[in-house]
Amino acid sequence: MDTKKTMIYRVLGLAVLTTLIISACQPVAGDQGAPAAPTANAYFTLPTAVPTMAAVETTAKVTVTDQSVDGGQLTIAEVDSPGPGWLVIHVQTDGKPGAVLGYTPVKAGVNTNVMVTVDDSKATPVLYAMLHTDAGQVGVYEFPGADGPVQVDGQMVAPAFNVTGGSGQSKSTVDSSGGYDYSYDDYGKGSSSKPTAAVGSAGMEIKVSSKTGLGTFLVDENGMTLYLYTKDTPGVSNCKDACLTAWPPLLTSGDPRADDGVTASKLGTITRDDGSLQVTYNDLPLYYYITDVQPGDTTGQAVGGVWYVVAP
């Protein structure tokens, strides 16, 4: 009898232990058996469902190879575009992208072996393959206008490559296709070109303009909009090399002058690596933007989240 009781107690004890183990493994009320959804905290940020355009544009890329331009046909190895756009071939003018030689549409994503028809008689030994958006009327190349260059970290996607053949060596202005001249001569004087230095020994005069949505902002003496670069530090320009192609510095040949509405004491200059004087405001260097064509244009506002007009 004692043996039977012992066996019964053992069986009951095992049943109770099993019940306790099973209960411990069950989800608490309201858990539904799934882990709680993660929330943002000091250590990480939840990803968004759809990446922003700024994030997408960091993937923009153009891969080029040296080739012959004879026959008027160029092949660009690969174009990775953040959206529908244009691959635009530019001649070289003063070491920078100049007039448009030809262009062709590209689709969003990776495009391989992109063919562009160009005028080989106007080709320069170095050409640029520049990626533009198709932000205006779809399928219609509109630049100057809505279809501006794609920017990655404030710089245009425009690798240079060498070509053989062709005879064009002259400096370009605006060609018959309506292409934009990226040379830097008379910016803000009714033409579509840009400066490397201010004209006149008295120094560049800084003025104020305004626009709905932006308020008042600084412009040069010809009314062309000026910008600051948030990656600069007081007295130091961090825009160099390819950055300067898209963002030419505001240069002066003398002390800058303040027009009405501009605080003269905030104006100054820094000396760039090439010895030129760049105008500063509140110790921050001032720049133009390459796609601004006429006085009052502000196409550089908020580009890349690092370029902005300058409040007086």
pLDDT digits (tens, 9 = 90+) for 124-175: 999 999 999 988 888 888 876 678 888 888 788 999 999 998 755 433 333 3
d(CA 312, CA 263): 7
Question: Which of 224, 217, 235, 231 is closest to 271 using CA atoms?
Answer: 235
Share of the chain above pLDDT 70, in %: 69
Q: Which of 13-17, 47-51, 86-90 has the lowest mean pLDDT?
A: 47-51
> What 3-state DSSP class applies to 98?
strand
Does pTM top 0.85 for this prediction? Answer: no
Domain presence at residue 257: yes
Domain presence at residue 190: no
Q: How far is the CA of 133 from the CAs of 8, 35, 240, in angstroms?
A: 82, 43, 24
Query: How many separate domains does the chain show?
Result: 2
Host domain of residue 122: 53-164
Q: At which of 164, 196, 222 does a domain end?
A: 164
Confidence tier at 2 by pLDDT (50, 70, 90)? low
Domain presence at residue 185: no
Domain presence at residue 154: yes
Let me know how many helices (H) and strands (E) the chain has, helices first.
Answer: 3, 19
Tell me the average pLDDT across 297-309: 90
226 shares a domain with 147: no
Q: Residue 149's domain is classified under what CATH number?
A: 2.60.40.10
139 shares a domain with 78: yes
What is the pLDDT, as a whole number, of residue 278?
A: 95
Domain presence at residue 111: yes
d(CA 32, CA 36): 10
213 shares a domain with 144: no
